[in-house]
Copies of this chain bind each other. A is one copy, B any other.
Amino acid sequence: MSRTVKLSDVAHHAGVSVPTVSRVLRGVPNVAPELKAKVEHSVTVLGYRPNRLAKSLREQRTNIIGYLTAGTVATFHNILAQGIQDAAIEQGYAVITGHGSSVEREIMYAQIFEGYQVDGLIVVPSSDTDPYLEVVSGYLPVVEVDRTIGSFSCHAVLLDNRGAIGQAVDHLVELGHRNIGLIYGDAPVSTEVERREGFLERLAVHGLPVNPAHLASDVFSEDGGVRAATHLLTQKSPPTALITTTNEMLAGAVQAIRHLGLRLPHDVSLIGMDDTRWARLMDPPLTVIAQPAYDMGYKAGQLLIKALDDSAAHPAEPRVQRLSAQLIVRSSTAPPKEASPMTS
């Protein structure tokens, strides 16, 4: 639970009775304008937020609907969600879910969740800048998964993004590539930032120069991948290998390569993110960086629940877990056209 500013607090602050506050909040007609104003003032001043639990108990209606599915889970974020579910259920917790595509929506859901008095929050932030989450983390245990806002201190379960891209670079360098292109999303999320940095760092480790022209960012989508890959492969001295930081952009890269009449891996090598079904089914099957999606979700669930249990004891120091990715070598990577596997 969190701050406990209740109806009676507001009533006391406004110098009225509890039912009056309730009436104002619910918009019941017969209320004196002056009292209404005073109540509304107190509400904002005290930062009152209704307790859905008590309301539900009283009204015999929760406004919660259960969604029970036997649907197949295949993508990264679903498998992750499945991990959270399993960890939660094992500890006797239930999960209330919201898909927040934008910061506004994210905030809306977070507030609704708070209304239902959730014990804690697991979140995949939609952006690097979410001031609301910072506030929430002040009085509610929060665990970030996959992505992190970074600017505030809370628990997190993340991929070792630098290491992940590092493995891809290592593999390509071993094959003899010296001109590797990176396709990444331009959204301000931690995964993209870290993967980009990991790429540059690993290039440096191998003593390879960084060619800014071989870095292409675009919208974090299939179309963005098409554009970025096309841009990279149509320049005068194109890279001999491409790495994409997301599954969506990988799909775009595949399309672009095909559209340009290039063959995989003969003309260009390609490594993407996430070991999805289609990556295996492509012709040729794609070399990918596999994320431990289920583990990430499961560990996030465990971490949050542990934080919940410990909250009484220690004030829970922020704990960040980094999980390793696994490079799965298939047939979209090969030595570059005019080069021997061992470059000096």
Q: How far is the CA of A64 from the CA of B147 in the complex (A)?
A: 22
Instruction: Mark out the residues of chain A between 35 and 77 whose CB falls within 8 Å of any chain B CB in the assembled complex.
Output: 51, 53-54, 56-57, 60-77
A262 at the interface (CB under 8 A from B): no
Let me know if A65 and B123 touch, CB within 8 A: no
A207 at the interface (CB under 8 A from B): no
- Of the listed stretches A7-15, A93-101, A150-158, chain B binds A93-101
Also in contact, A68 and B123, with CB within 8 A (given A53-B53, A94-B96, A96-B96): yes
Name which residue of chain B comes closest to A254, CB basis: B281
Copies in the complex: 2
Q: Chain B nearest CB: distance from A121 CB in Å?
A: 5
Q: A124 to chain B: which residues have CB within 8 Å?
A: 68-71
A199 at the interface (CB under 8 A from B): no
Instruction: Mark out the residues of chain A between 74 and 100 whose CB falls within 8 Å of any chain B CB in the assembled complex.
Output: 74-78, 80-82, 84-85, 88-89, 92-100
A125 at the interface (CB under 8 A from B): yes
Q: How far is the CA of A124 from the CA of B66 in the complex (A)?
A: 11
Also in contact, A97 and B95, with CB within 8 A (given A62-B118, A121-B66): yes
Let me know if A66 and B118 touch, CB within 8 A: yes
A1 at the interface (CB under 8 A from B): yes
A192 at the interface (CB under 8 A from B): no
Interface centre among A66, A81, A282 (most CB of B within 10 A): A66
Q: How far is the CA of A84 from the CA of B68 in the complex (A)?
A: 11
**Contact pick for A69, options B51, B77, B127, CB 8 Å:** B77
Q: A69 to chain B: which residues have CB within 8 Å?
A: 77, 81, 97-100, 123-124
Let me know if B119 and A70 touch, CB within 8 A: no
Let me know if B116 and A94 touch, CB within 8 A: yes
Q: A147 to chain B: which residues have CB within 8 Å?
A: 70
Let me know if B281 and A96 touch, CB within 8 A: no
Q: Chain B nearest CB: distance from A101 CB in Å?
A: 6
Q: A61 to chain B: which residues have CB within 8 Å?
A: 1, 119
Let me know if A96 and B97 touch, CB within 8 A: yes
A255 at the interface (CB under 8 A from B): yes
Q: How far is the CA of A125 from the CA of B68 in the complex (A)?
A: 8
Let me know if A92 and B109 touch, CB within 8 A: no
- A-B CB proximity, top 4 nearest: A71-B77, A278-B278, A70-B126, A66-B113
- Given A71-B78, A75-B78, 14 other A-B residues pairs in contact with their CB atoms under 8 A: A1-B60, A65-B94, A65-B119, A68-B98, A69-B81, A69-B97, A70-B126, A75-B75, A81-B97, A94-B96, A94-B113, A95-B98, A97-B97, A251-B277
Residue contacts A-B, CB under 8 angstroms, 15 given: A1-B61, A64-B118, A65-B93, A65-B118, A68-B97, A68-B98, A70-B100, A71-B75, A71-B76, A82-B99, A89-B109, A95-B97, A95-B98, A258-B283, A278-B281
